Amino acid sequence: MDRPKPVWNYPLISCDDPLFQKAYDWEFPTSSLEEGKQKEMLKHILHVTACWSFLKPLFSSHGYTLYRSMDDDPWNTYPEPLPKAVRDPKYPYARRCYEADEDGVFGVNSGRIWAARDALGHDVVIKVISDADNPSNEFKVLQYLNEEGVRSDPRNLTIHVLEFLTIYNLVFAVMPRWDAAFRADFGTVAEVMQCGEQILECFGFLQEHRIFHGDFLDQNMGLNIATNSNKFFLIGLRDPSVTRYAVYDFGNSEIYPRDVSLRDFRANPWFKFSNYGLPFRNGPFNPFAVDFLSVIILLQCRVRHIENIVPAVGPYFDRLMSYDDDSRPTAREALVDFRQIVSQLSVTQISEKISTHYWKDGVVYKK
């Protein structure tokens, strides 16, 4: 994979134009998520939509045709009829799992992101990641992850950046469109275990490079499909022979020196402990241990529901959840144990169809 193309630049926009001036302003204002703030949220949605519309000609000049909004909902978008979609996209682009353009709906869930199609017919997403005059941590991390030697590592299961564009002092990352990883149905034990293994491998790689993700939630893991992103539990989309996963959204990330200790290092990055049901930490903490704890919490939800078929996953997660930050295994160590479980599964177990969706607080939720 070639490294991202050079950054392009345009002059600064005037204050009379509708474009938000700072990358941070494109995201939902925190206050708009509060009860009774629906009008503020709608105003922001319409403003962001206008910003993307304003930029259409500039993205078009680089070969990207932004998706159009549906008439009844500006944040339900779908591809324009031209350019025509590639029938059989190759990696790093996602598998196209829709026929008509109207079925390739991309539901926008962040003001920073909009979908587009490139001149060759590949579906991509474009994300506002930084101010050009004050590079964000996300920009720095994505640049690093897409350097030639780092990108070519097969364990680097993070989303590819195809190129960076700088327009009006805003930096945009262009990436393949990979839809959210946990909306399509899991059909077999093999599909569940493949997902778990790839997540662990990616975080082992991130820890090795001393990268703290800081926001690993369901919506920040991608699956190499492009379909109607508003539809849940679509079946038959996880054949292990063609399925890949990728971690994305590095908006809360940090990159630390390679020589810091995974065990002893302490820092104070932003981390929303309440997203994981964890108590707030006062003062510096081990960012790698806390980051990996968020991975364990998500994996337990998404893997442990097959404990009736793979009994070993129960003790595996009990053990990982029992450690404190100082003694928690690294992602690489947890991956070794996970692969040991996979290696001991019989052909019957690995191919068995599953009837459950997820595990939470000891309860298994069925399909």
| Residues with Cβ within 8 Å of residue 272, at least 6 apart in sequence | 215
Structure confidence at residue 30 (pLDDT): 61
Q: Token pair of 259, please?
A: 């020589």
Q: Does domain 179-366 have CATH number 1.10.510.10?
A: yes
Structure confidence at residue 73 (pLDDT): 84
Q: Token pair of 263, please?
A: 């065990």
Residue spans per domain, the chain: 23-176, 179-366
Alpha-carbon separation of residue 360 from 45, 155, 298, 356 (angstroms): 33, 29, 10, 12
| Residues with Cβ within 8 Å of residue 26, at least 6 apart in sequence | 20, 48, 51, 111, 112, 128
| Residues with Cβ within 8 Å of residue 357, at least 6 apart in sequence | 186, 305, 365, 366, 367
Tens of pLDDT along the chain (367 residues) come to: 445 654 444 444 444 457 898 999 998 776 555 666 677 777 888 889 999 999 999 999 999 999 999 888 888 999 999 999 999 999 999 999 999 999 999 999 899 999 999 999 999 999 999 999 999 999 999 999 999 999 999 999 999 999 999 999 999 999 999 999 999 999 999 999 999 999 999 999 999 999 999 999 999 999 999 999 999 999 999 999 999 999 999 999 999 999 999 999 999 999 999 999 999 988 999 999 999 999 999 999 999 999 999 999 999 999 999 999 989 999 999 999 999 999 999 999 999 999 999 999 999 999 9
Burial class (CB in 10 A: 0-12, 13-18, 19+), 2: exposed
Q: Of 257, 137, 264, 239, nearest to 188 (Cα)?
A: 239
Structure confidence at residue 33 (pLDDT): 56
Burial 43-63 (b: 16+ CB within 10 A, else e): ebbeebbebbeebeeebeebe
Structure confidence at residue 31 (pLDDT): 56
Alpha-carbon separation of residue 95 from 117, 179, 336 (angstroms): 14, 10, 29
- Examine residue 311 and say whether the peptide bond preceding it is cis (omega within 30 degrees of 0): no
| pTM confidence score | 0.93
Structure confidence at residue 39 (pLDDT): 77
Q: Is the dihedral of CA 273, 182, 221, 169 positive or negative?
A: negative
- Examine residue 83 and say whether the peptide bond preceding it is cis (omega within 30 degrees of 0): yes
Is there a contact between 79 and 104 (Cβ–Cβ < 8 Å)?
yes
Burial class (CB in 10 A: 0-12, 13-18, 19+), 116: buried
Q: Of 231, 207, 182, nearest to 359 (Cα)?
A: 182
Is there a contact between 155 and 201 (Cβ–Cβ < 8 Å)?
yes
Structure confidence at residue 117 (pLDDT): 98
- The radius of gyration of the chain's CA atoms, rounded to the nearest angstrom, is 21
Structure confidence at residue 330 (pLDDT): 97
